[in-house]
Chains A and B, each alone.
Chain A
Amino acid sequence: MLLGLKRRFLLHRLRDPDYRFLFEPPPPGEAVSIDCETTGLNTRKDDIVTVAAIRIRGARILASERFEAVVKPKARLNPDAIKIHRLREQDVADGRPIEEVLPDLLRFIGSRPLVGFYLEFDVAMLNRHVRRLIGIDLPNAQIEVSGAYYERKYGDAPPGTEVDLRFVSILSDLDLPVLDQHDAYSDALMTAMMHLKLADLKARAVRIPRGRDKPLAHYGGGG
């Protein structure tokens, strides 16, 4: 009810009727895993450098239909961020402006729920531009894999349990392959794998055992 109201409100504020598809019911069982690499961590000042999105249908990751784009950033690349995503000025020089990339991305995503790790950050980065384009924020439902992981692992934990929600910790705990990190496509792919496995564990009511954590290599996160 409340959601329906919100949707109608957003639909009313949607400037461009071409984007009404964002409000249509999503194809059943589908979702989109998404990840952005950025010039830095400030959602107001920093820019998107690359963005990757992969459709998930049922228990299948449609990697062959992925969306990948290099964005020409307006802000200068932050040297610290370059160290993380390894994209230098010249690497992004061939990119397209975000105004061109965004419509394609939105059509790729459609009304499917978004899946991500620390998704709030990626959505905030995108929304700055989405708002300018169509007047509203992304209306898609959001699935946070670290949240789903927390629920499966720590949902029944006694207070004071040490919580580890680092990307690489989740990956290793779920016994998933570690791919080339800090590449938007790989991160989106690993996130999609996490999502499928966590959804399966939840469906089978399997909890992730605690207290068998192994020491892990440092990894900053999927943003």
Chain B
Amino acid sequence: MAQHFDPRNAPFDRLSAEEIDVVGDSLDIAYYRPGETIIPLHGAPESLFIVIKGAVEERDGDDLVALRGPGDIFDSRALVQGRSSAAFSAREETLCNLLPRDVTLRLINANPRFASFFYLDIAHKLDTVSSEEEAARFTPMLNARVDEIFLHPANFIDATASIVDACALMRTHKTYALFVDGGKGPGIVTRTDLLEAALLDRLPLDSPIGPLARRPVLSVAPDDMISTALVRMTKNNKRRVAVSEKGRMIGLLEDIDLLGFLAGNSQIVGGRIDESRRIEDLARVAREIEPQIRLLRRQGVKVDLICEIVSDLNRRLLHKVYALVAPTSVREAGCFFVMGSEGRGEQTFRTDQDNGLILAGPLDHEDDLVRFRLAVFDALAKCGFPPCPGEVMVRNPVWSKTLDEYRDDFRSWLALADESGTMNIAILYDAAAVAGDAKLLRAAKQDLIDLMRGERLRLARFARAIDAFPTPIGFFNNLVTSRAEGDALDLKKGGIFPIVHGVRALALENGLLETGTTARIAKLAELGVFDAQFARELTQALHYLMTLRLDAQIAEKASTSLVKPGEFSTMERDLLRDSFQVVKRLRDMLRRHFNLAMF
């Protein structure tokens, strides 16, 4: 087959070898001179077009909505619906592969994965992509190296030591197995061995453990793949395997840790947070939260679930910090809460300390509050939360005061109606209580909601921020990148923020108490503000953008929102385009709804 058609491009990469042959045999090639119409508006194309060379303009009326380049496909919607909603014409001399409509439809019917590309709504498309990602993710996990997993340190005991000695040593080191030093080379003795020797074989407790040791010791090297360790354990029916380097035992790999590595061990991290007695312990556990993200993502866990798990761990951590440092007076009168993305539960990689405190009334000893502010700040800094550059944190008296003082603030924020007022309303409206009396936070939010209720101008001023950054949709491949950012595209400014803020404005207008954007969208759909279809697309677009951002953060090991569309596959670019189209629709809706044209 000639290679004017690349079967590695989505959606053809989902076809079987036979189906690819069918495509290869069915393709014709068409040449279009500059300006020539390829599909007229409302036309019924007889084939799917795949650009080989050149550029194709997609126009909605007079507006140029997209430019398609080599590898891009159009017009999948028109092919399915039998009528195009845009006009396509060659911008320059263009060559396209033509896949006949009947062949395309046959493939759609025969291959659901291929078909998903042609689904009319992005929600369906994304569902298919993520399940594929999930399938692709387990294999790399098994290719991790043994030394990437938590290894128990190797503990040694002499062959002449008694069963009692061995038992005591195991308890000291909290281990299930000891390496036995003796004449015949290294051996291993486990708790089960000791138990059986004492209880079943009725050996005296002071008998030496030498004869109990098993040899040879099953071992792997630190740079072996964990699949090797897994196979070795399974074959020999062992629950642990020694890790040896150059004949020296350096550690012990337990099946539970291996499984924990594969499955994630966020539940263990959560438990460790709860068990911590000192800030120092917490700080140590806090460092284990971030690796969970990478792990969960590698396992293909969806981004909304990762956010949920990570927020839960972070909130437990804050809860614990509060319990450890808050004096009784504060604990009796206060509500400790997180704000912003942490409050919405949409945080993955840790950002700043975004937290506050509401008190039911003034404290008898103001000193308690002053000490508390600094103690929380220090504790969180030790746990790896950098200070908030905007000082939106308990350390700042603006964010740690009584409910009445907050209420006064709300009125001045609204009266000033400037950018910082909008930002303050937004972050407080997203707040979620982590410790103390949650009713205080709810009362504050309810007050804020009441102040906004029916206030069209206030709401419009608040919603206006959705236009702070343009949607990065434009001409080439429909995605606008910034040269200043090295042809990267800011997912947060262009997509995540407008969705979060737009939904937040509507939620505030409708007096919702939900904090998560997904929960707000669902509630707004219930209220009929969004239709069910749009709600689904909005949620999926948000999750897709968050997934891309998370993957970029994992790759960069930094909290970045920049991605380079040039490094994406056709499919990913297509999904990104679709996501931004959803953002665009939300913006249009909000502009009409809040009559933003008046500004």
Whether B236 sits at the interface, judged by CB under 8 Å, is: no
Q: Min CB distance, A194 to chain B, in Å?
A: 10
The answer to whether B26 touches A177 (Cβ under 8 A) is no
Contact pick for B52, options A64, A177, A203, CB 8 Å: A177
Give the residues from 19 to 72 in chain B that come closer than 8 angstroms, CB to CB, to chain A.
25-33, 52-53
Q: How far is the CA of A204 from the CA of B29 in the complex (A)?
A: 21
Cα–Cα distance between A211 and B235 once the two chains are bound (Å): 70
Residue A80 interfacial (CB < 8 Å) = no
Q: A177-B53, A177-B95, A179-B4 are in contact. Are A63 and B29 (CB under 8 A)?
A: yes
Known: A64-B25, A64-B26, A200-B93. A59 touches B32 (CB 8 A): yes
* B3 on interface, CB distance cutoff 8 Å: yes
Q: CA separation between A192 and B100, bound complex, in Å? A: 20
Q: B2 on the interface (CB 8 Å rule)? A: yes
Q: Please report the C-alpha to C-alpha distance between residue A192 and residue B98 in the assembled complex, in whole angstroms.
A: 15
Instruction: Specify the chain A residue showing the minimal Cβ separation from B26.
Output: A64
Q: A64-B26, A175-B53, A176-B95 are in contact. Are A197 and B31 (CB under 8 A)?
A: yes
A62 on interface, CB distance cutoff 8 Å: yes
Given the contacts A64-B27, A175-B53, A204 and B33 also touching, CB distance less than 8 Å:
yes
Point out the residues of chain A lying under 8 angstroms from B28, CB to CB: 60-64
A197 to B29, CA, bound (A): 12
A87 at the interface (CB under 8 A from B): no
Per the bound structure, the CA–CA distance linking A59 and B28 in Å amounts to 11
Measured in the bound complex, the distance between the Cα atoms of B98 and A59 in whole Å is 12
Q: Which residues of B contact A175 (CB under 8 A)?
A: 53, 93
Q: On chain B, which size bracket covers the interface? A: 10 to 19
Q: Is the beta-carbon distance between B2 and A60 smaller than 8 angstroms?
A: no
A138 beta carbon closer than 8 Å to chain B:
no
Given A176-B95, A177-B4, A179-B3, A61:B30 Cβ within 8 A: yes
Measured in the bound complex, the distance between the Cα atoms of B3 and A185 in whole Å is 11
Interface centre among A64, A179, A186 (most CB of B within 10 A): A64
A27–B30 alpha-carbon span in the complex (Å): 18
Q: Tell me the smallest distance from the CB of A120 to a CB of chain B, in Å.
A: 24
Complex-state Cα separation, A204 to B93, whole angstroms: 12
From the candidates A60, A197, A203, name the one contacting B30 in the complex (CB within 8 A): A60
In whole angstroms, how far apart are the Cα atoms of A180 and B2 in the complex?
7
Collect the chain A residues with CB atoms within 8 Å of residue B2's CB. Answer: 63, 179-180, 183, 185-186, 189
Which residues of B are found within 8 Å of A185, using beta-carbon distances?
2
The residue among B3, B25, B32 with the most chain A CB atoms within 10 A of its own CB is B3
Over the window 181-206 of chain A, the binary record of Cβ atoms lying under 8 Å from chain B Cβ atoms (1 yes, 0 no) is 00101100100110011001001100
In the bound assembly, the distance between CA atoms of A197 and B53 in angstroms comes to 12
Residues of B within 8 A of A64 (CB): 25-28, 100
Closest 7 CB pairs of A and B: A61-B29, A196-B31, A59-B31, A186-B2, A200-B33, A60-B30, A179-B2
Please give 18 more A-B residue pairs, beta carbons under 8 A apart, in addition to A63-B2, A189-B2: A59-B30, A59-B32, A59-B33, A60-B98, A61-B29, A61-B30, A63-B4, A63-B28, A63-B29, A64-B25, A64-B27, A64-B28, A64-B100, A175-B93, A176-B95, A183-B2, A189-B29, A203-B33
Question: Can you list 13 A-B pairs with a CB-CB distance of less than 8 A?
Answer: A59-B31, A59-B32, A60-B28, A61-B29, A61-B31, A64-B28, A176-B53, A192-B29, A197-B31, A197-B93, A200-B33, A200-B93, A204-B33
